[in-house]
Amino acid sequence: MAKIKNLIFDMGNVLMRYDPEVPLKKFVKTEKARNLIRRELFEGPEWVEADRGMISEEEMYESVARRIPEKYHEELKKCVYEWIICMKPLEKSVKLCEDARKWGYQTYVLSNAAQSFYEYFPKFYRMEDFDGVVVSSDVHLIKPDVRIYAYLLEKYHLNPEECLFLDDREDNVEAARKAGMQSMLFTEDYETLRAFLKQNAGIEAYQQKKTIRKTVAKTLRTLLLPLFVAAAVLTSACTIAPEPRTTQAQESGQVVVGTDATQSSSASLDSVPAYSGQPYVTLNNNVPDFTDADMQTTSYEEYSDLDNLGRCGAANAIVGIDLMPTEPRGAIGQVRPSGWHTVKYEGIDGNYLYNRCHLIGYQLSGENANEKNLITGTRYLNVTGMLPFEDEVADYVKQNNAHVRYRVTPIYEGDNLVASGVQMEAKSVEDDGAGICYNVYVYNIQPGITIDYATGDSQKSADMQTALSSDTDSRQSQEKTYVLNTNTMKYHTPDCSSVSDMKINNRKDYIGTAAELQQQGYEPCGRCHPE
């Protein structure tokens, strides 16, 4: 077994106490109402979707409110928007993290959490103290999906055998094992855990190595500092593009639009290649078109006025922590960007073709219903195309308490109401692009859908129609009725003997497939063996 070098912590009931009974008791008057809101909100599908980053708190409230009597809506609203009062740090875990870092471990957080994570977690833990953080709503994956573990390992270049994952749920622990990590069920037995970590670290040996490293580092600084200064003088261009994006582009053979294509801050559609299966192409060798005067350390945001067709123009910002939101995202549904249509298609994540896409994302700016910052964009543009680049910037700013010069420019053809795509440019300020540096064109398309960019009208392409029909028939043939136990996370056939023993508050009926339930973290009952 490999030596453990990296500790990966779950958040809820590992780093912080999570207890939904706190807001229920504080905001809900009767036991009947508490049982109802507990089941429909905290144990409902919307909570999972918020953790997955697919819906906002407002959308969660609206969806749950449709299932419960109106007389409980105010109590429900309090629980939705003020539930974080139930979060408080586990003091012994705080001390454990501090000591673990002293013992030589790298520490990471891997949590199922909505975007409000960034509101409450920094109140109790310094984000910069952790070597990395992955939140489910940022990557649209939730534990125990093995892919979220793989994402963390890839993002931070970790050897899974050198990682110890700690979680209070057995299904999450088991998924970590499947991802190749060592894992342990967290039971708040701090004494045993501390003893294990100290033994694994070899404290005395570590202290000796630490002294040696300090001596070597001091010597190297003396010898190499003049060389570093000389190199800094000679280096002025962006040297590192965001990972994994550049690597992916190189490996996939994506077309790179050269310098001639982007002499101005806006991409030329004439020089952007047709969409070929990748969500973006790089422009100007991935170097943004910023001047030295643009690279400032004072945060700001600036938006263009709408043109005579009601279309957004370029949005500019210097993103810093002080620009980021400190409260939950508000409603944006009242804004109708140019070319907006409310239309659904099966086969699209979330079903809706169009999103109200922020040019400068909410996580970077805290902007809500700003019509100068919202365009009609496909789900593919919003989540697959733009979001990973936004995440690069957000992660860098939070982890380094630094600034990033940022610009997003929607690109229209002629008088079209819907943008053909957006140009995204970013460059980290304090390190002159060493941390963040990119210039990309992201396609506003949706695979399988034909879009009329002049009006926003759309229709299924013929190949998608055929595929959807086949998928629908296949899915319907697999759908069955199951009974879920939301406490044990088991699913049963309706006639299973375990169903009669199930507490009513833990029971939930479900029509769908076993594969869908397993993706949500449920396991089959050992008695009835549901297929």
The per-residue pLDDT for range 335-375, each reduced to its tens digit, is 889 999 888 888 887 778 999 999 999 999 998 889 999 99
Residues 485-498 pLDDT 10s: 877 788 888 888 87
- Give domain 6-15+88-201's CATH superfamily: HAD superfamily/HAD-like (3.40.50.1000)
Give the chain's largest Cα–Cα span.
77
**85 touches 26 (CB < 8 A):** yes
422-444 in b/e burial notation, b at 16+ Cβ within 10 A? Answer: bbbbbbbbebbbebbbbbbbbbb
DSSP 344: B
CA-CA distance, 486 to 505, in Å (whole number)? 8
Coil, strand or helix: which one is 158?
coil
Compute the distance between CA of residue 356 and CA of residue 377 in angstroms, rounded to an integer.
6
pLDDT over threshold 70, residue 526: yes
% pLDDT > 90, the chain: 56
For position 465, what pLDDT does the model report? 52
Q: What is the pLDDT of residues 134-148, one digit of tens each?
A: 999 999 999 999 999
User: Tokens 């790179």 belong to which residue?
Assistant: 256
Query: Which stretches within 28-72 are classed as H helix?
Result: 31-37, 45-51, 57-65
Residues contacting 408, CB < 8 A, separation 6+ = 314, 315, 359, 360, 386, 422, 423, 424, 425
pTM exceeds 0.75, yes or no:
no
Q: What pLDDT digit, counting tens, does each position of 84-99 carry?
A: 888 888 999 999 999 9
Enumerate residues 6+ apart whose C-beta is below 8 A from 208: none
In the prediction, which pLDDT does 258 show? 30
Residue 227: what pLDDT?
41
Domain ranges of the chain: 6-15+88-201, 19-86, 245-463, 479-524
Question: Which among 112, 119, 134, 116 has a CA at the least distance from the CA of 49?
Answer: 112
Mean pLDDT (the chain) is 83
Would you give the end-to-end CA distance of the chain in angstroms? Answer: 36
pLDDT computed for residue 312 by the predictor: 96
Q: What's the rounded mean pLDDT across residues 138-162? A: 93
**pLDDT above 50 (res 133):** yes
Task: Looking at mean pLDDT, say which of 210-219, 460-469, 516-525 comes out highest.
Answer: 516-525
pLDDT of residue 249 exceeding 50, the answer is no
Q: Which of 220-234, 453-467, 513-527 has the lowest mean pLDDT?
A: 220-234
* Omega before 144 within 30 of 0, i.e. cis: yes
Task: Indicate the range of 31-45, 288-302, 334-348, 418-432 predicted with least confidence.
Answer: 334-348
Taking 70 as the threshold, does the pLDDT of residue 14 lie above it?
A: yes
| Both tokens assigned to 386 | 């733009």
- To the question of domain 245-463 being in CATH 3.40.570.10, the answer is yes
Q: What are the catalytic residues? A: 358
Q: How far apart are alpha carbons 336 and 153 in whole angstroms? A: 40
Residue pair 1/182 in contact by the 8 Å Cβ criterion: yes
Structure tokens at 305: 């006025």
